[in-house]
Amino acid sequence: MAAPVMNKSAESPRTSSQTVTLGKSLNLGLRAAMEADPKVIVMGEDVGKLGGVFRITDGLQKDFGEQRVLDTPLAESGIIGTAVGLAIRGFRPVCEIQFDGFIFPAFDQIVSQVAKLRFRSQGKINLPMVIRVPFGGGIGAVEHHSESPESYFAHTAGLKVVSCSNPVDAYWMIQQAIRCDDPVLFFEPKRRYYEKAELDFDAKPEPLFASRVLRKGTHATIATYGPMVKTCLESAAAAAEEGKELEVIDLRALSPMDLTPVYDSVRRTGHLVVVSEAPGEASLSSEIAARVQQECFYSLEAPILRVTGFDAPYPPSKLEEEFLPDLDRVLDAVDRSLGW
């Protein structure tokens, strides 16, 4: 994939490598995708002049015009429902849902149309659309702004679901998601928007639907995704100081999941901790546990433990540090697993 042509935007000079935040990375990725394909359009609330409340679409309307970057009316079902029509017409809409908690008005369109139309038409209609969702807590927000709804979509056949955890992945994954001919729910770890990394525009990205081992380890395996990846890497670093080597796997693809690296790892470590900030009940973390216990039955030396948000509504933000899995809770679970 070529470096994005950024001739239109003075502030982003063309270089083969740049230090960028995750948010900026997404912005650059969107820009590259829009330049690569005139059928890519961006739509959502406040994505135009404002550049989105997180500025992920900053400058795009200025450079690509109002017909490719649409400030839509305020209604999520409308955003997704019209995007379906635009996709049928041959566009590749990239919809922004302003916050995780506001995807639910669009749930029906997503479940009944986005997920099913290709199957219904036996492949005569493709829906190459991306639904971008800043998700998760940890930003001190008011209610409905810190939800982790990814499991609803993983449970919905016909959708693909991914989540990036770092600026480099963000840049490539958003472009891959846009190029994908299937509808992709793209979950962005909003509390990590300001994390920085060096982005090499000439690198060859990983495939979109592949998990990645981010840290090798021998004592226990941690499977996680999105905002919790950083937490888990920090946990692994802390554990290392105590002589415990944790293998950390960033799932990246949440549906379909690529669990092979997890199976491989668990076969070596015998211990698995699954970390996600979403409530655990009937979730992706349950699914991982269910599948790993089946695949690695004889390798497991302890039950698979889950560190998740609680099965309660997301609390007022003063309590979110307690609600969200953190280094201590991850290490506590690792210890419990190792000490089983």
Q: In the bound complex, what is the minimum distance in angstroms from residue 128's beta carbon to ligand TPP?
A: 24
Options 243, 294, 318, 339; binder of a second copy; rule CB under 8 A: 294
Q: Tell me which residues in 103-132 interact with ligand TPP (CB under 6 A).
A: 105
Using CB under 8 A as the binding rule, whether residue 323 contacts a second copy is answered as no
Strand residues in 69-170 grouped as ranges (E): 69-71, 92-96, 130-135, 160-163
- The piece of 29-37, 180-188, 219-227, 240-248 that touches another protein (CB under 8 A) is 180-188
Using CB under 8 A as the binding rule, whether residue 142 contacts another protein is answered as yes
Q: Which residue has the tokens 């969200």?
A: 324
Site map for a second copy, 158-197, x if CB under 8 A? x---------------------------------------
Q: Tell me which residues in 248-277 interact with ligand TPP (CB under 6 A).
A: none
3-class SS of residue 7: coil
Q: Tell me which residues in 240-259 interact with another protein (CB under 8 A).
A: 255-258
List phi, psi (to 5°) of 322: -75, -30
Tell me what percent of the chain is helix, strand and coil, each rounded to the nearest 5: 35, 20, 40
Using CB under 8 A as the binding rule, whether residue 141 contacts a second copy is answered as no
Q: In the bound complex, what is the minimum distance in angstroms from residue 290's beta carbon to a second copy?
A: 4
CA–CA separation, 125 vs 118, rounded Å? 5
DSSP state of 111: I
Q: In the bound complex, what is the minimum distance in angstroms from residue 332's beta carbon to another protein?
A: 7
Question: Is 145 part of the annotated catalytic residue set?
Answer: yes
- The piece of 213-221, 225-233, 240-248, 318-326 that touches another protein (CB under 8 A) is 318-326
List phi, psi (to 5°) of 77: -60, -40
Strand duo 246-250 + 212-215: pairing: antiparallel
Options 6, 180, 220, 228; binder of another protein; rule CB under 8 A: 180
Alpha-carbon dihedral 287, 290, 294, 297, rounded to 10 degrees? 120
Catalytic machinery residues: 145
